[in-house]
Structure 1
Amino acid sequence: MSSTELPPVPATNVLPKVSPVRGEDGERLRSVRLSGVTLAVRSRPSGREGLPPALYVHGLGGSSQNWSALMPLLDGLVDGEAVDLPGFGDSPPPDDGDYSVTGHARAVIRYLDAAERGPVHLFGNSLGGAVATRVAAVRPDLVRTLSLVSPALPEVFVQRGAIPTGLLAVPGVASLFTRYTKDWTAEQRVRGVMALCYGDPGRVTPEGFRNAVEEMERRLRLPYFWDAMARSARGIVNAYTLGGQHGLWRQAERVLAPTLLVYGGRDQLVSFRTARRAARSFRDSRLLTLPDAGHVAMMEYPDQVAAAFRQLLEATGESGIADTGS
């Protein structure tokens, strides 16, 4: 069986544990033990009973908190949860050390199978967009709609800002970078990340910056932080080079779910030029372009992303839930 095939895995030993959450008011964080992996899952109180489920998947180096600006705006539309991928946020590394796109996709599938929440409205950003694309392609029964924000899909000419990610995938580079940057403060690192990921870093509030610094300080203390980053970066590079029916663009063509694509005109990591190719590849797609947004439009322009998702629901006739927020 190909390494990209994701057979259903019986998910047992689901042990939810509620713990204090660092993030927006009303959010909860619980730990869910599955076969071979433990995932931290962030959720909010449902706006009302009977809402369809949604799952949000973050990008490389991110966490479930990346969706904390968007999730409240969709409270009346979906029953939302955001997952920390293995090795990121509050999720420990996977037992098998598999940080490939397929490995992350398998973790998402295991959770959805265990929670019996499918089909869900599936959201993904960057690496999470590649993961969500693979999930939607191989397990269409789990995906109701697909919303991708700057998905990490293969490019012939990569953005200059994405070159460090590619270098990080080279064995030994992560350890060299760690030594080179050992004197950098958490504030310096966060400013660098925000300059790379935001179209306008000035949109970050002082509170948001402080929270990001605290989170960076916490992650740098984790013994597996750089390993998770390097191996996941390697997973993206490997996915970019995979051809045939298991290539990400070929899998995009197999996605049956109605798809919302969101691209930022100031994205330094995923080329704005790929937006048109993505719109052609996903068979039932809608494209939202935000000229001033960077790589994380759901954090910079959550209102516009929420409005586009509402339009997706209206266009696809998803019961009448879109009317609840109008």
Structure 2
Amino acid sequence: MSTSATTRSPVTHVPLSDALLPPVDGSTPPWPGGDETSGGVTLHVRRTPGPPDAESTAVYLHGLGGSATNWTDLAGQLSGYVPGIAVDLPGFGRTEPPDGFDYSMPAHADTAARFIRGLGVGPVHLFGNSMGGAIAVLLAARHPDLVRTLTLISPAMPDLRPFTSRMSDPRLPLAFLPLVGPAVRRRLAQEDVETRVMRLLRLCFAEPDRVPESRRQEAAREFEEREKLVWANPALARSTFGLFRTWLVPRSRSLWTLAPRIEAPALVVWGTADKLVTVRKAPRTARLLPRGRLLVLPRTGHVAQMERPGTVARAVLGMWEEVAAGRW
């Protein structure tokens, strides 16, 4: 493992906690889930138990095409310290989108903010991966009172440079274009589930062959479940457009402009082998966050919380310890 940091702080490393954590073998089943209404918003959530005297709660926001199950292992690692709530954002996982939902990133952020505020648990430790990271940036900038700390894992910060060369399947970028996209998505959907699972793993993981069989089976079941949901594919396509539109807004509303307004201590985690959101954006992201530090992980792809949950958990606990000691 290697670490690096780019930050205004004179500290040039990310502290890793020496706390004892449970082993990670990929066999932990998804945490129990159910629909919950909070702040007038209904989401499907998976709750991780935590100590009854915990001072805060962790809230986890998944990426594009993901779900609350993307946080199973990391939430388990941190469950000895905080209870966790992993949400399925509208149109993803098992959350049915409300009528008229526009799938913009501000709409997703507003939904998550309303849900968190309705919980009445005070400021939370907010986590976001990929699209969920972009949503977390918006939420933290607009609702600072809701966020105790911020952990961004490969957040989808604006980048208009071509990235198709990093994708193992050249059809994937075409799947979200306005005219040809629906036809491409239909052809991809006709492939067997195992083929689609392996494509997803090769795209998101640096070492897909090391993903446990239990996790592959979970991904296959999720593919099969989403095929039965009439709103799943439209939600994916429209959220993809919503994310791209966020990259094209005027500078005054750009995520790059919002990041310096975030007051919370922030940890940015990136894998060097990320095929979806280039690690080249990592230093700038951490530098713009006033209290941001950067952890770069080798041999790690787009979902570090799934590929290196133990290392990410130690970095998060290290941040929490440093914040409590007034050193972050």
User: Structure 1 length normalisation: TM-score?
Assistant: 0.86
Query: In 2, Cα distance between the equivalents of 1:139 and 1:316?
Result: 20
**Cα RMSD, aligned residues only:** 2.0
State the shift of 1:25 in Å. Answer: 4.8
Greater relative CO, 1 or 2 (CA 8 Å, sep 6+): 2
Partner of 2:195: 188
Is contact 2:30-2:72 (8 Å) kept? no
> Which residue of 88, 91, 102 maps to 1:87?
91
> Which residue of 280, 286, 290 maps to 1:279?
286
- For residues 66-85 of structure 1, the aligned pairs below 5 Å read 66-85=70-89
State the shift of 1:165 in Å. Answer: 6.4
**Residue 136 and residue 318 in structure 1: after superposition, are their counterparts in 2 closer, same or farther (change >3 A)?**
farther
State the shift of 1:182 in Å. Answer: 4.2
State the shift of 1:281 in Å. Answer: 0.8
1:226-275 deviation per Cα after TM superposition (whole angstroms, max 9, x unaligned): 10110000011000111232111111111110000000000000111111
Moved more, 235-244 or 40-49: 40-49
Is contact 1:37-1:94 (8 Å) kept? no
> Which residue of 52, 57, 62 maps to 1:53?
57
SS of corresponding position for 2:279: coil
Aligned length: 297
Is contact 1:100-1:232 (8 Å) kept? yes
SS of corresponding position for 1:146: strand
Partner of 2:321: 314
Query: In 2, Cα distance between the equivalents of 1:98 and 1:165?
Result: 23
SS of corresponding position for 2:73: coil
AA at the equivalent of 1:209: R
Query: In 1, Cα distance between the equivalents of 2:127 and 2:155?
Result: 10
User: Structure 2 length normalisation: TM-score?
Assistant: 0.85
Report % sequence identity: 41
State the shift of 1:114 in Å. Answer: 1.3
**Residue 179 and residue 168 in structure 1: after superposition, are their counterparts in 2 closer, same or farther (change >3 A)?**
closer
State the shift of 1:210 in Å. Answer: 1.0
Question: Which runs of 5 or more residues in structure 1 are unaligned?
Answer: 1-22, 320-326
SS of corresponding position for 1:52: coil
Query: In 1, Cα distance between the equivalents of 2:40 and 2:241?
Result: 21
- For residues 257-268 of structure 1, the aligned pairs below 5 Å read 257-268=264-275
- For residues 182-221 of structure 1, the aligned pairs below 5 Å read 182-221=189-228
**Residue 317 and residue 58 in structure 1: after superposition, are their counterparts in 2 closer, same or farther (change >3 A)?**
same
**Residue 191 and residue 118 in structure 1: after superposition, are their counterparts in 2 closer, same or farther (change >3 A)?**
same
**Residue 189 and residue 318 in structure 1: after superposition, are their counterparts in 2 closer, same or farther (change >3 A)?**
farther
Partner of 1:142: 146
**Residue 240 and residue 205 in structure 1: after superposition, are their counterparts in 2 closer, same or farther (change >3 A)?**
same
> Which residue of 288, 292, 297 maps to 2:299?
292
Q: Is 1:235 the counterpart of 2:242 in the alignment? A: yes
Question: Which runs of 5 or more residues in structure 2 are unaligned?
Answer: 1-26
Is contact 2:133-2:153 (8 Å) kept? yes
